[in-house]
Structure 1
């Protein structure tokens, strides 16, 4: 355990002691929070019509009623603060949108509550079961308790029922997402977006290795979580292009702190100069300066040896550096098949997720279009940033349709991509073997966008451990960011955004995303991405590093095709080294220049001016279908 992580856990306090310390909001503070929540939900929230229809909820009316009740209270008659937080949180959770959150004030906003073990589910045939899979480093577990024990009850409630009851409290967009969040929140609660647990301690009933039923009572602990690399409140490209489930992101950093503190880094590093360029050895992880973001290794399965790269988050400030490290890592992995594993990735920078797609396919990438809801306030925001005055945000493409929508009564603006199309296609294909994507119900936001793009561009099969992804199809902005956007480059008069008390904050889905390709125009929100293949996690998976899951992925990769397209550039010709291609078309700086039949593995193609071109793109075909492409940027 790192020294910093050890100090954090050593300084943890019991939940009941923390709760006694919390609570400093005045009645005026509470009224401000409710009024500002009304602004965001009623005038900025892009999914309000969808959520009202799908879930039969009316958060606007609930906020109005809460405001009325607060207007009738005084400093001596107001409710306990915990009750206020509970009600405001419930209103935000009612829309089942993990982008749209009430972020509790200090001291909650930096804390996590946790129990010293992790519970995961698996299937034994058709029966769903639960096991302890990890314990916190340094935890003095009683004899017979540890990874592998089967959990049967939670505070006397059968564990499956306890997960369902817990799931009802949280904002998953679909049944799979709610169940997944019900399970993970049994043992970890980010207090930024969840009120503290109701109970001070939990009694866990389990079967020890001898099958004897035992009970373990543990108190909830509270400590500081690891901070995020990205400041979503400041005007920056990373903040404006956020697509992040804050809860999953918080839990991901908490899992690092509690179970793998050796992967914690204090900053987002992309310098790879001192790292070895040796190919991955079977079973060994490749070194990376971004261990909080990537884990890359060579895996041995019954179907062969393949590459496996886990992408833990897209929450970065530098999407280009993120993609460069991804490309470096997959270049050191076996080239006959790649597993891209994005389970439990809550998203992050939308650029990073959509920039990654190009590296896995020869097809040009079409970023997902996004839409604002057409309200007078959103029109003001777009108008103020239609000429990109800050250098960080350009809302000009949405302005004409927003103004038109107010006249025609259209609900949404036109759809335009957040991700630059040029950046989404700047590097082109970098991996030429088959690719399988692994998803689960905790894939959300920018990861939903990545999974949808992977499927829409027909990159490869999607292997899901749940029935669909988390279904978070939106760009999310914080209240603090919205407030600044009406203050830059000069303050807009009569801004409805007021400072929030106590370091509280709020987030709202501001632009909804739509699918491309065969499902063009379909919203991602609530629907998510349905996998092409389904795998139920086994006991071996949760206790032995996903062995059965990766074996299934290996089976899918073994049916794929490994191609090759290497390009050597000379002054007036290209030398192409290929495999399983029968034709190549050449473009210089976007213009077609040559086409050649590939009767041999190595072919020299005359291309006048090739040496002077800035960008060379070679497209490889088999049977008339585009199956490989190489982009050379000089």
Structure 2
């Protein structure tokens, strides 16, 4: 019997007009083949600097080698040797160099530790003009179109259309194959990020897709089977927070998945004009547009959405937190407090799904608002290495204090300890300076795209027993680290003439998980990395959730709040 997948039912084939299709395809193909101008010496420099970061700064290197059987340091040494043998005439195309070094970073399955491609890749996003999402019913997992960009019209292809095949491959298989190509700290995270990257890929962290178009088989709302072909498009990345490259307190407190944050900004630009209009209204002092029933205007629409929701168990507050990134941590925390005070005090659904993190200090400082308990910030550890010890000592010249970690790093060189001592990055005073401001029961909603500062927030929420955690996946993204850029490391060692860090060429960069986080409370000492936060209960997203504003999910959360004493 043949093991080949069943051919999708036949139906009308929808084509883009050939002239437009060819033009769009050429744009991507030409970009892949011609983008970039790194010299051979610049490539060698990138490999050398990557080797320093992964061998001497990367805090999860022992864990990743044990869990995944990888040896990124040796792979970089091999790549280093190959580039030494190359000449300007024999070196491979630039995209191949980026693919080789990206593959080494991706083998770590760590969304904190990245090779960031130079311009012009860094300024572009590859996308298809629609989103697909996964849901479950009695027949198992299915994939549905949930958003279509303005101006994109294909018969039967609209929110609610069910995708069955992707370029001739059954969609579930295509998602599994795609998952193996992308980083993710556990199976749930890999699958979730695979679905996300089927239609949006920031080229800062991903090479452009090598297929110039995809063929999608789908069942429209009218029940008809159809097939369409759609080309990948390129557009300019939406602006994000300004990165000065200096060792500021904000830069040293970053705990963020840059892939998710770049993707979320692209989603807003492509599919959420309402948020852009709200941001503009806040900036110009105009009336807040596009309010939904029960929604409360926010001063930071890119970070928050607050509204009252009616469930069979009662009326509760629903607060989405999309990011912990902020140019003003104080203003961010103040806005969070203002919003929770305006929401019903009988219960709060705090929803951090798809939040890729941000400033770990901001995330940890929010916990006190929700509990009468004294908050213990998560302690963090460096990898024990001579270079990390030098970095901590050199920071003194910039009035940056890592003195708590220096004695254990110094001692570890003699004792052979793998890690430094563990001390909080967020001060105990800051984590408890405000106190409780919301006094009702709280349910936290998570998924596998919660990462970094959001993992830290979810772990703190659970460790301080603030309330139950309701997950739409079996785990959070499991990113437990404070991440620094190569530029920050350069800046920390700027006054040391023997610094091994050299600025990278043409806007390329790297990020490295430099301090790992450990849990407190009942799971004290357990690393967050690759383990994440296991929810108390799991709710699988339904078709109704995707089409009707999370209706079933919010009803489930409402029942949990009622059990906690909300009514």
Q: Is the structural similarity TM-score above 0.5?
A: yes
Match of 2:422 among 402, 415, 439: 415
Matches of 1:13 and 1:266, distance apart in 2: 36
Match of 1:435 among 408, 429, 442: 442
Give the deviation of 1:543 after TM superposition.
1.1
Contact kept in structure 1, 2:25 and 2:213, CA below 8 Å: no
Match of 2:207 among 191, 195, 200: 195
Match of 2:504 among 496, 500, 504: 500
What's the counterpart of residue 515 of structure 2?
511
What's the counterpart of residue 324 of structure 1?
334
What's the counterpart of residue 7 of structure 2?
none
* 1:514-561 alpha-carbon deviations (Å, 9 max, x no partner): 000000000000000000010000000011110000000000011123
What's the counterpart of residue 126 of structure 2?
113
Question: What runs of 5+ residues in structure 2 fail to find an aligned partner?
Answer: 1-23
- From the two aligned structures, give the one with the greater helix fraction: 2
* 1:132-160 alpha-carbon deviations (Å, 9 max, x no partner): 00001232x11211100000000001000
Q: For the structure 1 residues 378 and 419, does the alpha-carbon distance in structure 2 shift closer, same or farther, using more than 3 Å as the test?
A: same
Contact kept in structure 1, 2:247 and 2:489, CA below 8 Å: no
Contact kept in structure 1, 2:398 and 2:492, CA below 8 Å: no
Q: For the structure 1 residues 382 and 12, does the alpha-carbon distance in structure 2 shift closer, same or farther, using more than 3 Å as the test?
A: farther
Match of 2:488 among 457, 460, 481: 481
Give the deviation of 1:267 after TM superposition.
8.4
Contact kept in structure 2, 1:120 and 1:133, CA below 8 Å: yes
| Matched residue SS, 2:250 | helix
Matches of 2:350 and 2:538, distance apart in 1: 16
1:268-279 matches, within 5 Å, as none
* 1:357-381 alpha-carbon deviations (Å, 9 max, x no partner): 0000000100000000010100001
Matches of 1:191 and 1:62, distance apart in 2: 23
| Matched residue SS, 2:238 | coil
TM-score w.r.t. length of structure 1? 0.83
What's the counterpart of residue 123 of structure 1?
136
* 1:99-119 alpha-carbon deviations (Å, 9 max, x no partner): 000000100012110000000
Contact kept in structure 2, 1:232 and 1:238, CA below 8 Å: no
Matches of 2:496 and 2:281, distance apart in 1: 37
What's the counterpart of residue 27 of structure 1?
40
| Matched residue SS, 2:410 | helix
What's the counterpart of residue 58 of structure 2?
45
What's the counterpart of residue 79 of structure 1?
92
* 1:12-65 alpha-carbon deviations (Å, 9 max, x no partner): 994224324402111111111100000000000000000000000000000000
Contact kept in structure 2, 1:232 and 1:478, CA below 8 Å: no
What's the counterpart of residue 380 of structure 1?
390
Contact kept in structure 2, 1:475 and 1:512, CA below 8 Å: yes
Contact kept in structure 2, 1:360 and 1:431, CA below 8 Å: yes
Matches of 2:284 and 2:329, distance apart in 1: 15
Matches of 2:28 and 2:131, distance apart in 1: 18
What's the counterpart of residue 223 of structure 2?
211
Matches of 1:275 and 1:16, distance apart in 2: 44
- Of structures 1 and 2, the one scoring higher in RCO (CA 8 A, sep 6+) is 2
Match of 1:398 among 405, 410, 423: 405
What's the counterpart of residue 190 of structure 2?
178
What's the counterpart of residue 162 of structure 2?
150
Q: For the structure 1 residues 519 and 185, does the alpha-carbon distance in structure 2 shift closer, same or farther, using more than 3 Å as the test?
A: same
What's the counterpart of residue 344 of structure 2?
334
Q: For the structure 1 residues 110 and 43, does the alpha-carbon distance in structure 2 shift closer, same or farther, using more than 3 Å as the test?
A: same
What's the counterpart of residue 623 of structure 1?
none
Give the deviation of 1:407 after TM superposition.
1.4
Which stretch shows the higher mean deviation, 493-502 or 226-235?
A: 226-235
Q: For the structure 1 residues 47 and 485, does the alpha-carbon distance in structure 2 shift closer, same or farther, using more than 3 Å as the test?
A: same
Matches of 1:12 and 1:155, distance apart in 2: 16
Matches of 2:566 and 2:359, distance apart in 1: 31
Check if 1:99 corresponds to 2:112.
yes
Contact kept in structure 1, 2:254 and 2:358, CA below 8 Å: yes
Matches of 2:27 and 2:48, distance apart in 1: 33
Match of 2:552 among 537, 548, 552: 548
Contact kept in structure 2, 1:207 and 1:214, CA below 8 Å: yes
Q: For the structure 1 residues 167 and 425, does the alpha-carbon distance in structure 2 shift closer, same or farther, using more than 3 Å as the test?
A: same
| Matched residue SS, 1:396 | coil
Q: Which has the larger radius of gyration?
A: 1
Contact kept in structure 2, 1:366 and 1:421, CA below 8 Å: yes
Contact kept in structure 2, 1:269 and 1:289, CA below 8 Å: no
Matches of 2:434 and 2:280, distance apart in 1: 22
| Matched residue SS, 1:69 | helix
Q: For the structure 1 residues 543 and 232, does the alpha-carbon distance in structure 2 shift closer, same or farther, using more than 3 Å as the test?
A: farther
Ranges of 4+ aligned residues in structure 1 off by more than 4 Å: 265-276
Give the deviation of 1:266 after TM superposition.
11
Give the deviation of 1:274 after TM superposition.
9.2
1:286-365 matches, within 5 Å, as 286-365=296-375
Query: For this pair of structures, how many residues does the alignment match?
Result: 542
Matches of 2:242 and 2:25, distance apart in 1: 25
Matches of 1:112 and 1:421, distance apart in 2: 40
Match of 2:69 among 41, 56, 78: 56
1:566-581 matches, within 5 Å, as none
Matches of 2:466 and 2:242, distance apart in 1: 29
* 1:137-190 alpha-carbon deviations (Å, 9 max, x no partner): 232x11211100000000001000101111101110100000001110000001
* 1:488-507 alpha-carbon deviations (Å, 9 max, x no partner): xxx10211111211110000
Give the deviation of 1:230 after TM superposition.
4.2
What's the counterpart of residue 527 of structure 1?
531
Q: For the structure 1 residues 264 and 233, does the alpha-carbon distance in structure 2 shift closer, same or farther, using more than 3 Å as the test?
A: farther
Question: What runs of 5+ residues in structure 1 fail to find an aligned partner?
Answer: 1-10, 564-634
